[in-house]
Structure formats: C-alpha cells, structure tokens
Amino acid sequence: MATDADGDDPSDETVVQTASEAAEGLIFSQYRQSDVRDYDVTAIFEDGVLEVDVYLNAPDEEDGPDPEQVADDAALAAREAVDELFGE
C-alpha cells in the first residue's frame, strides 16, 4: 500500500483507487458486466475528505436489483472500504 510522505496514512491515490474498486465490485456483484449500459464512479479525496459519486445505467427489471439502490450501495461500499483502509 502506498503511503503519504510521513508514512502513516495511505496516499490520496490509494484512497481513490480503493474507493473506486469497491464501488465497481459492488456494481458487478449485482449485475453482469454485459447488462450494465454505462457507469461512472467518481472518487475525490482532498484534505482528508472522501467524496464518492456513482452513476449507473443498468436495466430496471421487476425481479432484478434497483439501479438507484445499487448505485447508493456502491457509494457506501466505497466509503466503507476506505474506512477499513484507515483502520476505522
């Protein structure tokens, strides 16, 4: 794991990558990749604050997962993964 200059905390790049991978992982645990028309995960980590925005364009089928809920859950998964990265 890359750390910042003082060696204590993960680098901003590591935080963003961890958040993005967690969000994408959750999305693709709910949908096959071929079913997702489009998605975007934007993770910004500045001054110790993480912002995550997830856009998901996937089928809203009656017996399938709700795309809006999956996007919300993906953002939450990103935040939780970063919390774990910091040992919280």
Domain 12-85 has CATH 3.30.300.100: yes
Quick: pLDDT tens for 28-39.
Answer: 999 999 999 999
Give the percent of the chain with pLDDT over 70: 92
Mean pLDDT, rounded, of the chain: 92
Instruction: Give me 10's structure tokens.
Output: 């993960």
Residue 27 has pLDDT above 80, yes or no: yes
Per-residue b or e along 7-36, where b marks 16 or more CB atoms closer than 10 Å to that residue's CB: eebbebebbbbbbbebbbebbeebbeeeeb
Q: Which residues contact 72 (CB under 8 A, 6 or more apart)?
A: 54
pLDDT-derived band at 7 (thresholds 50, 70, 90) equals low
At residue 8, the pLDDT reads 78
User: Where do we find the tokens 């110790």?
Assistant: 48
pLDDT tens profile 43-69: 999 999 999 999 999 998 888 899 999
Q: Give the global pTM.
A: 0.88
Q: Which residues pair with residue 44 across a beta bridge?
A: 51
The C-alpha atoms of residue 27 and residue 4 are separated, in whole angstroms, by 29
Residue where the block lists tokens 């935080």:
15
